[in-house]
Amino acid sequence: MRLRTRLFLAAFGIAGISLLLAAALVAWLLERQLLDRIATDLLAEARLVADLVARNGASPTVAELDREADSLGSSLGARVTIIEPGGRVVGDTAEDGPSLAAMENHGARPEIALARAAGVGVTRRYSTTVERDLLYAAVRVDHPGVAFVRLALPLTAVDDQITSVQRGTAGGLLLALAGALVLAWVTSAAMSRRVSTIAAVAQRYAAGDLTPQIGPYGDDEIGTVARALDASVQELGRRLAELSRNRRLTDAILASMTEGVLVVDARGRVKMANDSVRRLLQIERTPVDRHYVELIRHPEVAKQIGRALEAGGSSQTEITLSTEPVRVCLASAAPYTEQDEPGVVIVLHDVSDYRRAVQIRQDFVANVSHELRTPLTAIRGAVDALTDETDAAGRQRFLDIVARHTLRMERLVTDLLRLARLDAGQEVLRLDSCAIASVFSSVAAELAPVLQTKRLRVESHVQPGAERLVVDQVKMHDVIKNLVENAAHYAPERSAIEIEAANDDVGTVVLRVSDRGPGIPDTDLARVFERFYRVEHSRARNPGGTGLGLAIVKHLVNLHDGTVEAAHRPGGGSVLTIALPKRAAFSAKAEAADKVSA
């Protein structure tokens, strides 16, 4: 049932009940007043009749009294009864002659008894004589032959008067109910409109639209409540907006953090986890509202969270995650309290790169020291032997040793300086179009003495679409040279080193250098481009190499926005692949130049 209908029924019901009760009360009061007025008038008329009877002669006859009763009854419009002291009726308006003589003794009638005792008596009762309800008024008469005069008025006349009063009351009641109906309808409609306005605003607020609403709320209590609710909603909306901004800011901060953040409540349920911690702990499913023991497969992390939940306090430790690759993290656990509920925040800072950099630096220092100490030891030994050598051929042999190791030290220092410039960003690219076949041939010519030592041959292949590259030709020459030289060190005698240039479908040019040597173990594929890193079976170093060639290759390729990787060659050996992006503007310019020259 709608509110408007309920309000209307309530208002109309209250008004109707009130009007009915008021009408009933008014009708009852009017009836009482009418009866009292009729009784008073009847009693006054009875007194008047008593006075008239008292003025008659001292001993009137029954016939005279009866005629007197008939005359007075006709004048007053009421039944007049004249009674002797003994109770015998001697005159009556309704009876004459024999029937009058046959009437019962009225000495015991209630109104007569009251008149005998008090002088007057008024009663309402059923008359067995006329067989109807009558209102009686009896008065004592000061006459020797007459004791009482009684007037009787049929209640039908009284009922007719009361009925007319009731009809008027009913008519007024109907008019009042009609007015109440209209007033209840107007009042309920006005109240319903106000409540509907407030409900519409509330529904708009519930839907998320918190735009302030200035409505005709009125100045009564409902208006006051509506304005208070509106103000409360606006304040709540402001706080929700602020919380939303803070939540978005927090989410943005957590999402941009490289550190992993995990929040666990006192029950061990995960409340928050950013992408970094999910990646570090390898959490694939949604972690929120799940127990941390179900999600974390690393015992050290789970133990640290458990200790922080049980003992509280902050802690920091370095843990190793058994991931692939292995990650080293600095884990910090700190307690927090949210709405009187404790919990733990654990932050995982990935220090794998730092630890790897430290290890690389230590290895680099050790390798540089070793690389320098080896030729220096050889030079010092040759110099010591040279001082004692008197034979010219022996002196020349020691001088050759000094020269060879001095050249090796010079190449080592040169490569170190170049790596330093590459790390510092001091190498500048001078891009231009060049024919890749000419780069291959110049590298083969420059390394001919090294290749002839092991009777190696270079086989180059340039596929259609990869004939020209937009690169720094000098640096690309160094890249190919280092790769071919590295392959020559490990390739077996009388084998071939393959150099290939191909056009890839994804918008890159691929250069491959393959050999038929012992290959690279899987564990070393990702580290062959580190400085001084050598695979295990090649620890016996070729004196001609510095161990920095592949590191320089990686830096030069990265300088060209390319990538380089090592892999196994089908059938044995290794293959090093360089992927370089095409540069359309330079390529178009080069093709145009080729057409002009043609």
Q: Identify which of 179-193, 510-524, 581-595 has the greatest average pLDDT.
A: 510-524
**Residue found by looking up tokens 């302030």 in the block:** 212
List the structure tokens of 516. Answer: 């038929």
- Residue pair 532/367 in contact (Cβ under 8 Å)? The answer is yes
Question: How does residue 542 score in pLDDT terms, banded at 50, 70 and 90?
Answer: very low
pLDDT for position 511: 92
- Top pLDDT among 200 and 498 is at 498
Min mean pLDDT across 6-15, 171-180, 321-330 is at 6-15
- Residue pair 590/433 in contact (Cβ under 8 Å)? The answer is yes
Across the range 454-468, mean pLDDT stands at 88
Residue type (1 letter), 456: L
- Top pLDDT among 206 and 449 is at 449
Across the range 110-129, mean pLDDT stands at 84
Phi, psi of 528 (to 5 degrees): -65, -20
pLDDT, tens only, 284-306 = 778 888 888 888 878 888 888 88
Across the range 179-201, mean pLDDT stands at 75
- Top pLDDT among 125 and 6 is at 125
Question: How does residue 217 score in pLDDT terms, banded at 50, 70 and 90?
Answer: low
pLDDT for position 513: 92
Q: What pTM was estimated for this model as a whole?
A: 0.44
Triad 54, 56, 61: Cα angle to 5°: 115
List the structure tokens of 203. Answer: 């529904």
CA distances from residue 34 to 26, 31, 123, 538 in whole angstroms, order as listed:
12, 5, 15, 137
pLDDT for position 127: 72
The answer to whether residue 512 scores a pLDDT higher than 60 is yes
Ordered strands of the 120-127 beta sheet = 89-92, 79-83, 148-154, 132-140, 120-127
